[in-house]
Each structure stands twice: as structure tokens, then as C-alpha cells.
A and B are shown apart, each in its own frame.
Chain A
Amino acid sequence: MNFIVDAIRWILDPMHFPGPNGIATRISEHLLISFFVVLIASGIAIPLGYVIGHTGRGKSIAVLATGGIRALPTLGLLSIIALSIGIGLTAPFIALVVLAIPSILAGAYSGFEAVDRRTVDAARAVGMTEAQIIRRVELPLGLPLLIGGLRAASLQVIATATLADYLGGGGLGHYIFAGQQTQDYPQMLGGSLLVIFLAVISEVSFGILQRLVVPAGVRSPSVTSRRTETARTDLGRVEVGRTESSETITAAGSPQTKGTT
């Protein structure tokens, strides 16, 4: 517990906040790195995922590839890239992009795949072009799952972006590496806590966003209140049907009575 108290005290120390190695700078570095990593990974993974999801082709390759990439140890990958292109921010940046791609790719194509094929078929049958089907049908309906992919990717990237400083790239990882080298454990743990804090913020905001992008007609809460209304109309309809049939029974009864007389 002492470590944690010390770490929190370290975070709250106003001396640690400003300056080039201050918490404010490191947090913004960390966020900037994460943001651009997710942005570039999205730029690669979303179009690819949509092509796979829309055409249904290459899905098995995508599943295999994403599984394989997920299994890559990021630190090892980072070292290999760094060996070939040298020290700096570029190597960790590439490694993080590779880390982020599988989640986003999976979110993108599963979002498309989750759209009912009959809905897509109907959209095509009424005369939508393929581009219109993607834009007006698959995209809005698949958006929640895509955001889910972005959410998972962001979480991974924020947590792993600490590696950016492994080769001097900055970010909150700096406190962890520097703390380890100088045996300044409150600083090390403080840096970790800040990373956790960012990860939680990311999770919460993406969680809210994910709820917001669910298309209105697909959302369930608002439906419940109205569904009772619909049920009521249905009841009314059945009753109408019933009166009709009882009328016909009486109508049919009359010729029978005629028959006896």
C-alpha cells in the first residue's frame, strides 16, 4: 500500500506537473502517439475490413492474419524494427500500428458481416448501387461494432504506448523506464497509474460513443415503450378479425336454417 500512496503523492506533487518532463507534457505526448497510431491503423484496417465485409472475400485470410498479428510480442517486434530503421519514435510507432490493426480490422468486417444479408439484398433489389449499400446500409448498421474495434485497439495502444520511450520516444513510458533505472519506484508506479487512468478514460468515452452510434431503429430502450402500443393495436386487430368471423358464422347459419324449413 505504501508504494501506491507514494506513487499518488508523486503524481500529485505540483513540482512534477510542468516542464518538458512534466506530467502534462508526458500525458499529451502519450495521447498524441496513441491518437496517431489509432488513426493510421484505422486508415489501413477500416477500408480493408469493409472490402472483406462487403464482398465476403478473404475473410478466412483476415481471421488468420489478425490472429497471427495479435500473437506477435510487441516488444520483440519493436526491437526488430528498431534494428533495421534505428532509434527514435518511428519504430515504436510502426510496432503500435501493427498492434492496433487486428482489433480495428475485426471490428470493421464483423460490423459489415453482422448486417442481415436479407437487408442488404433488399437494398440492392430496390436499386441501390454497391456504394450506396455501403454508405446507407452497411456503414450505419455496422458502426457500433467498428467503434467496438476502435475501443479495443485504443485500449491496447494506450497501454502499450509506454514502449514508445523504450527507444527515447517519450510519453508516459518515460516515467516507467526512468523510474526503473533510478530505482525511483514511486515515479515508476505513478507513471503506470497515469497510464491506467488514460486507459479508463478511453474505455468510458468509447463506451458512451458506442451507445450513441447505435442507429435509432435498432436501439432497444425506446422500443419497449412503443412496443406495448403496437401490441395493443395488434390486439385490436385480432378482435376485429374475431367479430368478422363470428359474423360469417351467423351468415352461414342462415342458409342452414333455410334448409331445415
Chain B
Amino acid sequence: MIEFRSVTKRFGDGTVAIEDFSLVVPSRRTTVLVGSSGSGKTTLLRMINRMIDPTSGGIEIDGEDTSTLEPVKLRRRIGYVMQNSGLLPHLKVIDNIATVPILNGVKRALAREQALELLDTVGLDRSLAERYPNQLSGGQQQRVGVARGLAADPNILLMDEPFGAVDPIVRDELQRELIRLQRELGKTVVFVTHDIDEAFLLGDQVVILETGGRVAQVGSPSEIMQSPANEFVASFIGTERGKRALSIRRTARGRVLVDGAGRTAGVLVDEPATTGHDVDSAANSGADSVAQVTVAQDLGADATTGAVLDAAAGPSNEPSGLLAAEPIVR
């Protein structure tokens, strides 16, 4: 468990990056810090491994105040994955992965052997071990970055917009891969992104940040989608307009969902449940690129809004939008 206690960060030039920020990051779950630039999300992330020290307040990891820990030692037991992989260009893939264990005093041969196993873990072929980072594609480099982050078998994994610089197809693949890894490994992941879709896809807990690290809302994706705390959150997650403001339209082929821009977002496959909160996952779930949607919340006869679930579920069934109106005529 990581706990931020009234953390404030003022930089030398007087700008306040973070003001009185408190948060509990639960263990073995993925917490996503999401916000636009200037929200201080990266600053918060970097405070966990003391790349940045808070001006006041403190951070505890499993009850231990990080300010009492030696930064280098602390960093070696926390995995760190960054945008553009941050791999050392002059080291082979295998040596990049083995960097931290070797720093920790693990024998070179053993560290390299473990590095090979980590290549398997992140879904890379072992033949890439002897390559240099610039001989890999962006997606492959990011996977190596994740492998390096996992190399010392840390409990905590910090990820700073790790998929920000790869193309959408590869990003998709990496996100799915991360979900799989997290299911297997159960690390305490703190993930920073400006992409709300990514946050809802990966996060067990999503923290929406306004400027200055002010917490707009903390909750599971469903909670945030179903009851946005304020206008800011609602507009940030796009439930008022755009692709999360869904409405049902009857067509000759059946009912379809249309987003705020009038584009068809998906096909309604389930009848709206009249009672209960049960989520009936679509049986014929396909990839999430096609929005097959199922109405999740109790859309009573006169229900005006409800959450719509994406069939290709992440760790939880995260909603993909809100039904803005109920124009169904029975």
C-alpha cells in the first residue's frame, strides 16, 4: 500500500505543482492517475520513488516513510517504466533487463538467465536478447522496458505514460498484455496517462486530477462513469458529448447506439434488464475495437440514463459510455 499524506510540491520558481494531495494506493491493484498536462500526475508518480521529493507532507510505502529510505535503494525495489522505454542504447536487450539485478549484486550469469525468462513473460522472443534497443520496434522496446521494470521482482511498478509513443494498434496490444501480466503477477501498479480510455481500461482505481494535483474524483471506472463527481469529471470523461454520450436509435437492422457526434458506436445486443444490477456480459464478445454494448444498469421503464458496458472486458467490466436518453419506443 502506498499512501500520500498531504503532499505538497513547490518548485524553485514558486509554481505549485501539487497542493495538499492525499491518496491511498491499494496493494496488488492498478491505480491510474489521469489528467491533462499540468495536473502534476508525473510529479506524483516520481515522488513515490523519490525522483522528486515533496516540499511538505510525506509518502508511506507499507507504513514506511519514504523520506527515511535511501533513494537509490528505494528505486531499486520499485519498477519504473517510462515513455520511450528509457533503455540504455549501448547495452543489449538482455543487459538492459539485467541492469537492476546486477546493481543489486546478483551474479551476472544468473541475472541474464532471469532476463531471458522475463522476455518470455512480456511476450518477446528470446532471439531478441542479443539485439540493441535501436534494432527493435517501438512496441518491442516498450516490452523490454516493462521486463526491465519487473527484473528485480518489485512489489511496486510505476508506469509513466508507457504506451504514449506507440501507434494505436501496438498500444492496444500492449494494454491487453499489461492486463494479462497484472492478472498473473498482481503488482501494485501506479500508471500515469492523459488518456481517459486507457485509464478506464487498465485501472482498478482511477484518480482524475485537475491542475495542481487536486483530486477531482477517485473511484472505479464504473463509479466514475455512473456518477461523475462534478462538471469537470463529466466533461473530462466525455459523458456529456462525444463518444460516451450514447443514444439508442432504431434502424431496420435492429437497435444501434449512436454517439454524440451522430456516429454509430455499436449494436445493442441485450434487452435492457428491468430489474437488478446484474451485468450480462455479451456472450458473443468480440474485440473491443467494435463496440458491442450491453446495457448494464437498471434501465427501468422511464430510466433516462445508464451505463453501457463494453463486451471486451478489461479486469472489470468497465463501462464504455452513458446512455443519454431513452428514445426506445416499445
A residues within 8 Å of B by Cβ? 116, 118-119, 121-129, 132, 136-137, 140-141, 215-218, 223, 226-227, 230, 233-234, 237-238, 241, 244-245, 247-249, 251-252, 254-256, 258-260
* Residue of B with least CB distance to A220: B134
* Residue of A with least CB distance to B102: A136
Is chain A's interface secondary structure helix, strand, loop, or mixed overall?
Answer: helix
Are the C-beta atoms of A252 and B132 separated by less than 8 Å?
no
Q: B254 an interface residue at 8 Å Cβ cutoff? A: yes
Q: B58 an interface residue at 8 Å Cβ cutoff? A: no
Q: Of the candidates B89, B91, B103, B170, which one forms a contact with A128 in the assembled complex, judged by CB atoms under 8 Å apart?
A: B103
Give the distance in Å from the alpha carbon of A216 to the alpha carbon of B88 in the complex.
12
Are the C-beta atoms of A126 and B290 separated by less than 8 Å?
no
With a cutoff of 8 Å between Cβ atoms, the chain A residues found around residue B39 in the complex are: none
Known contacts A116-B89, A127-B72, A244-B287; 17 additional CB pairs below 8 A are A121-B86, A122-B80, A122-B82, A122-B85, A127-B73, A127-B100, A215-B90, A216-B90, A216-B132, A217-B133, A218-B90, A237-B170, A241-B169, A248-B289, A252-B286, A252-B290, A260-B254
A and B contact pairs by CB, cutoff 8 A, 19 listed: A121-B86, A124-B75, A125-B49, A125-B80, A126-B103, A127-B72, A128-B99, A141-B89, A216-B132, A217-B133, A237-B137, A237-B170, A241-B169, A244-B287, A245-B287, A248-B286, A256-B254, A258-B254, A259-B267
Give the distance in Å from the alpha carbon of A251 to the alpha carbon of B266 in the complex.
12
Q: B110 an interface residue at 8 Å Cβ cutoff? A: no
Are the C-beta atoms of A218 and B253 separated by less than 8 Å?
no
Q: B179 an interface residue at 8 Å Cβ cutoff? A: no
With a cutoff of 8 Å between Cβ atoms, the chain B residues found around residue A259 in the complex are: 253-255, 267
Q: Of the candidates A126, A233, A256, A260, which one forms a contact with B76 in the assembled complex, judged by CB atoms under 8 Å apart?
A: A126
With a cutoff of 8 Å between Cβ atoms, the chain A residues found around residue B99 in the complex are: 126, 128
Q: B189 an interface residue at 8 Å Cβ cutoff? A: no
Give the distance in Å from the alpha carbon of A116 to the alpha carbon of B75 in the complex.
20
Give the distance in Å from the alpha carbon of A129 to the alpha carbon of B85 in the complex.
20
Interface centre among A127, A136, A233, A254 (most CB of B within 10 A): A127
What is the distance, in angstroms, from A244's C-beta to the closest C-beta of chain B?
6
Give the distance in Å from the alpha carbon of A124 to the alpha carbon of B100 in the complex.
11
Q: B239 an interface residue at 8 Å Cβ cutoff? A: no
Q: B211 an interface residue at 8 Å Cβ cutoff? A: no
With a cutoff of 8 Å between Cβ atoms, the chain B residues found around residue A227 in the complex are: 135
- The answer to whether residues A218 and B89 also contact, given A132-B103, A256-B254, A256-B267 and a CB cut-off of 8 A, is yes
Q: Of the candidates B80, B89, B170, B253, which one forms a contact with A256 in the assembled complex, judged by CB atoms under 8 Å apart?
A: B253
Are the C-beta atoms of B73 and A140 separated by less than 8 Å?
no
Task: List B83-98 residues whose CB lies under 8 Å from chain A.
Answer: 84-92
Give the distance in Å from the alpha carbon of A218 to the alpha carbon of B169 in the complex.
28
Give the distance in Å from the alpha carbon of A192 to the alpha carbon of B17 in the complex.
64
With a cutoff of 8 Å between Cβ atoms, the chain B residues found around residue A125 in the complex are: 46, 49, 51, 75, 80, 82, 86
Q: B292 an interface residue at 8 Å Cβ cutoff? A: yes
- The answer to whether residues A119 and B88 also contact, given A126-B76, A230-B136, A249-B290 and a CB cut-off of 8 A, is yes
Q: B183 an interface residue at 8 Å Cβ cutoff? A: no
With a cutoff of 8 Å between Cβ atoms, the chain A residues found around residue B139 in the complex are: 237
What is the distance, in angstroms, from B272's C-beta to the closest C-beta of chain A?
16
Task: List B241-283 residues whose CB lies under 8 Å from chain A.
Answer: 252-255, 267, 269
With a cutoff of 8 Å between Cβ atoms, the chain A residues found around residue B290 in the complex are: 248-249, 251-252
With a cutoff of 8 Å between Cβ atoms, the chain A residues found around residue B136 in the complex are: 230
Q: Of the candidates A127, A137, A223, A241, which one forms a contact with B134 in the assembled complex, judged by CB atoms under 8 Å apart?
A: A223
Are the C-beta atoms of B292 and A255 separated by less than 8 Å?
yes
Are the C-beta atoms of A255 and B267 separated by less than 8 Å?
yes
* Residue of A with least CB distance to B169: A241
With a cutoff of 8 Å between Cβ atoms, the chain A residues found around residue B29 in the complex are: none
Are the C-beta atoms of B132 and A217 separated by less than 8 Å?
yes
Are the C-beta atoms of A252 and B292 separated by less than 8 Å?
yes
Are the C-beta atoms of A118 and B90 separated by less than 8 Å?
no
Give the distance in Å from the alpha carbon of A241 to the alpha carbon of B290 in the complex.
14
Interface centre among A126, A245, A247, A252 (most CB of B within 10 A): A126
With a cutoff of 8 Å between Cβ atoms, the chain B residues found around residue A124 in the complex are: 51, 75
Q: B187 an interface residue at 8 Å Cβ cutoff? A: no
Give the distance in Å from the alpha carbon of A127 to the alpha carbon of B254 in the complex.
57
State the 4 A-B residue pairs at the shortest beta-carbon distance, nearest first.
Answer: A259-B254, A122-B86, A217-B132, A215-B90
With a cutoff of 8 Å between Cβ atoms, the chain B residues found around residue A123 in the complex are: 86, 88
With a cutoff of 8 Å between Cβ atoms, the chain B residues found around residue A252 in the complex are: 267, 286, 290, 292
* Residue of A with least CB distance to B266: A252
* Residue of B with least CB distance to A217: B132
- The answer to whether residues A226 and B131 also contact, given A233-B137, A255-B267, A255-B292 and a CB cut-off of 8 A, is yes
Q: Of the candidates B75, B253, B267, B284, which one forms a contact with A126 in the assembled complex, judged by CB atoms under 8 Å apart?
A: B75
With a cutoff of 8 Å between Cβ atoms, the chain A residues found around residue B169 in the complex are: 237-238, 241
Give the distance in Å from the alpha carbon of A217 to the alpha carbon of B75 in the complex.
26
* Residue of A with least CB distance to B90: A215
Are the C-beta atoms of B103 and A255 separated by less than 8 Å?
no
Are the C-beta atoms of A255 and B287 separated by less than 8 Å?
no
What is the distance, in angstroms, from A132's C-beta to the closest C-beta of chain B?
7
Are the C-beta atoms of B91 and A217 separated by less than 8 Å?
yes
Are the C-beta atoms of B254 and A251 separated by less than 8 Å?
no
With a cutoff of 8 Å between Cβ atoms, the chain B residues found around residue A258 in the complex are: 254
Give the distance in Å from the alpha carbon of A116 to the alpha carbon of B92 in the complex.
17
Are the C-beta atoms of A140 and B90 separated by less than 8 Å?
yes
